[in-house]
Amino acid sequence: MSESELPGAPDLAYRDGALSLEQVPVARIAEQVGTPFYAYSSAHLERRYREFTVAFGGKAMLCFAVKALSNVAVLRHLGRLGAGADLVSEGELRRALAAGIPPSRIIFSGIGKTETELRAALAADLHQINVESAPELSLLSDLAQRMGKTARVAIRINPDVAADTHAKISTGKAGSKFGIDLVHAADSFRRAKQLPGIEPVGAAVHIGSQITSLAPLEAAFGRVVDVYKAMRGEGIKLTRLDLGGGLGIRYRHETPPSINAYAAMVTRLTRGLDASLSFEQGRWICGNAGILVSRVLYIKDGATRRFVIVDAAMNDLVRPAMYEAWHEIVPAIAPAAKAKRAPADVVGPVCETGDIFATERELPPVAAGDLVALLSAGAYGAIMSSEYNSRLLVPEVIVRGTEFATVRPRPTYEDMLAREKLPPWL
């Protein structure tokens, strides 16, 4: 593909024949940190944040979905631009606070918040807690009373709308574990109004991720707006709408809606509501900001297939194994214009048949020792990595213009082993 076709362009491009993130060739990063590694473009993160705020005229709060990419340096960069944070665990809360994001810009979501996590949220005095079940609402009321706090609560509504995305990242249909069913939403608001220690302030919704059409979002938002209006009509003083995230990006051939079209749809649905708006975009902000760079170990010619064996594996980027996800794979040196492409399976060294990044992928010539980059790896890449097969976690790097910094170093084997302890009888 040409430079302009690379997901993440213009921040990712071949410059003088070398694949570069902003102005830094990925080969230069590899020389310093080794492979594999993740690298993120700070310019891309900033561009996406500013595009979102401009589309909404600066009148909406964007709370970055920390589950997409939780590196503290990334969070601090976005926080300094004005972003808040959307959390689903106490660990993510601690990361957001460590990054300097003020509690007044933090939303705590998630269906299984523990008592400890709810206590932490109350102690931090967050912008709001998105409640997803009647038992959670009861527990939160009890804790708020005991702590002398008032919990600002939004009820997350399950609008029974299919997100038209992968089944494992669709969260808005009836029967999903997420949110309070539409038929029970009104009663939940009424109960929240009566419970001590609870201040119902808004309605929330999130129907899934990697959504590439406005239609399901518009249907879901419309149903939540109807509930919001009805509750206001009953005298429940709601003032906020949290419309979640889920906007898709281009991995291959997708054509997601523009942010301006999205903002126009939201503005039309919410006009005259007297509601402040918040959003929880994650992938849309960071997905095409990041790449995973790996080195080719071997070219293996089998009886029926050719294998390109790289030093990254499914433990480093699990999306292809988990979601059958497509990531463009490109060499670090621009191929010749007439270079002949040939099919190959790009695989990692983990002892699993599913450790495959691409099957029968048409690739330009690559050889052992070459660097390749898996694109669109900023969201749900490093964040979902593991030490499976006792492989070390890969480092994370952030780039700014002509400079880069390692923001999560590669641990040593000694670091990995030091976390484990033998019992006294051994």
Per-residue model confidence as pLDDT tens for the chain (426 residues):
555 579 988 999 999 999 999 999 999 999 999 999 999 999 999 999 999 999 999 999 999 999 999 999 999 999 999 999 999 999 999 999 999 999 999 999 999 999 999 999 999 999 999 999 999 999 999 999 999 999 999 999 999 887 665 555 455 566 778 899 999 999 999 999 999 999 999 999 999 889 999 999 999 999 999 999 999 999 999 999 999 999 999 999 899 999 999 999 999 999 999 999 999 999 999 999 999 999 999 999 989 999 999 999 999 999 999 989 999 999 999 999 889 999 999 999 999 999 999 999 999 999 999 999 999 999 999 999 999 999 999 999 999 999 999 999 999 999 999 999 999 999
* pTM over cut 0.75: yes
Catalytic residue among 303, 337, 351, 426: 351
pLDDT of residue 209: 87
* Sign (positive or negative) of CA dihedral 415, 417, 418, 420: positive
Ordered DSSP codes for 247-279: B---SSS--PPPHHHHHHHHHHHHTTS--EEEE
Give the residue among 361, 356, 300 at the shortest CA–CA distance from 330: 361
Question: Is residue 160 within 8 Å of 182, Cβ to Cβ?
Answer: yes
Ordered DSSP codes for 205-259: ---BSSB--HHHHHHHHHHHHHHHHHHHHTT----EEE----B---SSS--PPPH
Q: How far is CA 381 from CA 30, 236, 304, 316, 355, in A?
A: 18, 41, 31, 7, 15
DSSP 282: -
Residues in Cβ contact with 282 at an 8 Å cutoff, skipping those fewer than 6 apart = 64, 65, 66, 67, 68, 69, 86, 209, 245, 379
Q: Cα separation of 147 and 156, whole Å?
A: 24
286 has catalytic annotation: no
Record the tokens describing residue 239, joined without a space. Answer: 């003032």
pLDDT of residue 178: 85
pLDDT of residue 198: 98
Q: Cα separation of 195 and 181, whole Å?
A: 20
> Which domains are seen in the chain, by residue range?
3-41+287-418 (2.40.37.10), 109-281 (3.20.20.10)
Question: Is residue 68 within 8 Å of 383, Cβ to Cβ?
Answer: yes
pLDDT of residue 1: 52
Give the residue among 347, 315, 306, 316 at the shortest CA–CA distance from 329: 347
pLDDT of residue 402: 98
Give the residue among 192, 127, 125 at the shortest CA–CA distance from 157: 192
